[in-house]
């Protein structure tokens, strides 16, 4: 359902506003105090005054003065990311070039080229999310190039996005959906990859607050209700550990922290369990105060003390001490069986590791000084530079490629000589081959993983040792693109396929020349283009290629007319009847259910099969080429991608009241296999609630049954009532609505 735009509650007079702005400015200076050098205060004041003057007539959607936004962003940079004076100046000025009369030259004159360059990078990012997709991919590349030049750009952008998400309440519903989707699709994974775990968690939770409001409120409520019980349990769990750590003469802080709402929700969805069944609602964190030379040793000592007290789950041990993540994260994670038979995750870090975990990239630099080894971050940036250099400029898949290659978690794989390679989760033996060298990738015919022969599509696990088997006769093929996940491999395969196509096209070119000679037609660029257009091919290269692979036999050339040395095509043949393009205006009016836009024009639509919306669901419309308006639920598996990437095709949508039409949906019921259970379920659905059942399958196994029911309901209200009544039946364990394509007509 569509929500009304919120009326901002903001009613300060001018004097109070000035006080508020000054208070925020002083609070920023206070946060910066430890980092201030002589002359810094004056620079910050100049930047603040310049921004305040530039934005003086502007207001945010809430009604408050715009300058409060740059001040808040600067404060997040300092307090939550750990950035310094230069970044503060950039954060204060980050919207001036785009929104006001201040130019980059002006900023450069006042603050120097370094600050001007970062502000320029921030200005470019702001154009990214509002244009068409290929343009968006192009701009995203520009951001990443700036990021690899100066990562502070993306860190300040993170602070900007976080403040926007914290103040999203005042925006219109469709704007909230668009911004929240972008955040979950690009910014949260990027924050995670930059090592900004706290910010990543908050961005995910805030996105969920707008994309899944009901689930968010429900989990937040349950977390609040169970807080006292959790605190009691954490204290009971920690007590014996504290004693052991003190006895071992180690200095450590121990505390428990709840898991984020988003991660609890993810676990519930992935495992199909209720809130009560999520065993690790919190993690225990042990922060050691150890000197650099003893860090590893002390962490393992603490691990040993924990596992003396509680039994560990061996497969849940995560050792990021020996192999830190590429974003610099170091820690030891284990899951142990605590009191009352509950699993508890324990994270062991030192103060230095904790600062890197909390402040990510900014802290990483602080500790990198004086080290001569190339950091993992630098390697990561280098890979991004390579990817951007190799990427097709018009590739709309750029964002998706970037996400799978650079924002995924990594696995560690070994070469036969024991060298380590980091690859994204889901990488195959073929990805590994390209990671070693593109020449090896192209010639790969198989691999040996841990000395066993496997196909090139084999998915690698952390710790695998991989040997690649090559052959000089091997050539890249189109289906390889579906096997690899890394950008480097995809780019190299596309290059090889192009090269192969070009060679084949040369043969086609020779065939065409010969045919022209036989028919006495001049071989000119004009004539080749006439033929290319006539066969409806995108380029002359494609035309020659199709001739070479015998898809075009040039018989039709006899029907062409020749005027001088120019070919004239015959009249176009009747096109093969295709499905008509169902634009919004021509769609078949089978029902009038959705009202979109500001007025009440009735419009025909089509319900997305991926999420099967029903009236009452929170939905948006998406203009699809060839299908007109498609209605998706806002929590549809594809929603984040559509809203983040194609926001210009999203239409504000709400349901019109219509009780005559029924919609197909589905529910899954799990319960105890009891005599008469099917009878009770069908009596409730058909008899009591008069709902039509389209299909019903029930499987019983070892005392439990699982039922899948497709049924026709009028709206979400009716479905919610049914689910509530089914849950109340004796012996029913859980009733869930399907969110996937299981419900198709």
Q: Which of 26, 139, 158, 168 is nearest to 87 (CA)?
A: 158
> Strand, coil or helix: what is 458?
coil
Q: What tokens appear for 389 in the block?
A: 């250099």
Q: Is 220 exposed, middle or buried (0-12, 13-18, 19+ CB in 10 A)?
A: middle
488: its two tokens: 């480097």
Tokens linked to 158: 């993170």
Give the total residue count for the chain. 745
Give Dmax (Cα) for the chain: 100
Distance set, CA 511 to CA 562, 633, 689, 714 (Å): 19, 53, 72, 63
Q: What is the 3-state secondary structure (H, E, C) of 132-169?
A: CHHHHHHHHHHHHHHHHHCCHHHHHHHHHHHHHHHCHH
DSSP state of 85: H
- Which listed residue (2, 17, 40, 99) is catalytic? 99
Catalytic residue among 98, 108, 126, 138: 98
Kindly give, in sequence order, each residue whose CB lies less than 8 Å from that of residue 230, ignoring residues fewer than 6 positions away: 256, 258, 281, 282
Alpha-carbon gap, residue 163 to 166, rounded angstroms? 5
Give the pair of three-digit tokens for residue 269.
Answer: 């969805």
Regarding beta strands 653-655 and 628-633, do their DSSP bridges make them parallel or antiparallel, or are they unpaired? Answer: unpaired
The torsion region of residue 712 among left (phi > 0), alpha (psi -120 to 50) and beta comes to beta
Between CA 327 and CA 392 the distance in angstroms is: 27
To which H or E segment does residue 666 belong? strand 663-672
Q: Tokens for 120? A: 């320029």
Residues 6 or more apart from 466 whose CB is under 8 A from it? 413, 414, 415, 416, 429, 432, 447, 448, 449, 460
Strands 318-319 and 332-337: antiparallel
Active site residue 99: yes
Kindly list the catalytic residues: 98-99
């Amino acid at each position: 359902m569509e929500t009304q735009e919120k009326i901002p509650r903001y009613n300060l007079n001018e004097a109070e506003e000035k006080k508020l702005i000054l208070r925020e400015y002083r609070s920023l200076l206070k946060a910066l105090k430890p980092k201030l050098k002589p002359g810094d205060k004056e620079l910050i004041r100049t930047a603040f005054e310049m921004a305040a003057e530039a934005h003086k007539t502007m207001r945010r959607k809430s009604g408050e003065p715009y300058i409060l936004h740059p001040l808040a962003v600067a404060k997040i940079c300092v307090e939550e990311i750990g950035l310094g004076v230069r970044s503060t100046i950039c954060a204060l000025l980050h919207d001036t070039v785009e929104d006001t009369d201040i130019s980059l030259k002006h900023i450069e004159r006042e603050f120097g080229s370094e600050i001007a360059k970062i502000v320029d990078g921030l200005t470019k990012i702001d154009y990214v999310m509002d244009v068409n997709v290929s343009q968006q991919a192009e701009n995203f590349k520009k951001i990443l190039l700036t990021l690899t030049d100066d990562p502070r750009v993306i860190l300040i952008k993170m602070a900007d996005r976080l403040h926007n998400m914290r103040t999203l309440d005042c925006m219109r519903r469709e704007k909230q959906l668009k911004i929240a989707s972008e955040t979950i699709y690009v910014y949260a994974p990027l924050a995670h990859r930059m090592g900004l775990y706290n910010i990543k968690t908050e961005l995910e939770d805030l996105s969920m607050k707008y994309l899944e409001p009901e689930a968010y409120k429900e989990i937040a409520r349950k977390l609040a209700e169970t807080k006292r019980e959790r605190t009691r349990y954490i204290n009971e769990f920690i007590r014996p550990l504290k004693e052991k750590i003190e006895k071992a003469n180690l200095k450590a802080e121990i505390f428990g922290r709840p898991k984020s709402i988003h991660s609890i929700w993810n676990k519930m969805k992935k495992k199909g369990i209720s809130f009560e069944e999520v065993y690790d609602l919190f993690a225990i964190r042990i922060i050691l105060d150890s000197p650099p030379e003893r860090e590893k040793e002390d962490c393992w000592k603490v691990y040993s003390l924990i596992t003396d007290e509680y039994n560990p789950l061996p497969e849940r041990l995560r050792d990021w001490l020996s192999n830190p993540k590429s974003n610099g994260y170091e820690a030891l994670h284990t899951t142990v069986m605590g009191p009352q038979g509950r699993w508890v995750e324990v994270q062991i870090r030192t103060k230095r590791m904790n600062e890197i975990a909390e402040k990510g990239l900014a802290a990483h630099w602080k500790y990198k000084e004086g080290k001569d080894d190339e950091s993992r971050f630098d390697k990561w940036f280098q890979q991004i530079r390579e990817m951007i250099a190799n990427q097709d400029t018009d590739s709309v898949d750029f964002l998706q490629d970037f996400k799978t290659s650079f924002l995924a978690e990594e696995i560690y794989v070994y070469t036969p000589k024991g060298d380590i390679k980091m690859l994204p989760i889901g990488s195959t033996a073929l990805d590994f081959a390209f990671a070693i060298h593109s020449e090896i990738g192209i010639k790969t015919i198989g691999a040996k993983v841990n000395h066993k022969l496997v196909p090139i599509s084999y998915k690698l696990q952390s710790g695998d040792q991989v040997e690649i088997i090559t052959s000089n006769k091997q050539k890249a093929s189109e289906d390889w693109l579906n096997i690899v996940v890394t950008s480097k491999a995809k780019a190299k395969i596309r290059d090889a396929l192009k090269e192969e196509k070009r060679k084949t096209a040369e043969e086609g070119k020779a065939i065409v020349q010969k045919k022209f000679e036989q028919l006495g037609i001049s071989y000119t660029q004009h004539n080749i283009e006439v033929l290319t257009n006539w066969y409806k091919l995108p380029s002359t290269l494609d035309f020659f290629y199709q001739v070479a692979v015998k898809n075009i036999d040039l018989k039709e050339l006899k029907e062409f007319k020749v005027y001088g040395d120019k070919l004239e095509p015959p009249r176009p043949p009747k096109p093969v009847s295709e499905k008509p393009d169902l634009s919004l205006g021509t769609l078949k009016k089978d029902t009038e259910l959705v009202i979109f836009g500001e007025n009440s024009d009735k419009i025909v639509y089509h319900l997305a099969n991926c999420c099967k919306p029903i009236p009452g669901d929170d939905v948006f419309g998406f203009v699809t080429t060839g299908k007109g308006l498609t209605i998706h639920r806002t929590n549809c598996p594809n929603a984040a991608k559509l809203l983040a990437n194609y926001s210009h095709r999203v239409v504000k949508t709400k349901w019109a009241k219509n009780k005559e039409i029924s919609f197909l949906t589905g529910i899954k019921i799990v319960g105890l296999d009891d005599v008469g259970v099917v009878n009770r379920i069908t009596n409730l659905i058909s008899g009591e609630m008069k709902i039509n059942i389209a299909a019903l399958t029930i499987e019983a196994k070892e005392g439990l049954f699982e039922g899948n029911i497709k049924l026709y309901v009028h709206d979400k209200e009716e479905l919610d009532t049914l689910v509530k009544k089914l849950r109340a039946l004796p012996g029913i364990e859980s009733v869930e609505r399907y969110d996937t394509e299981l419900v198709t007509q």
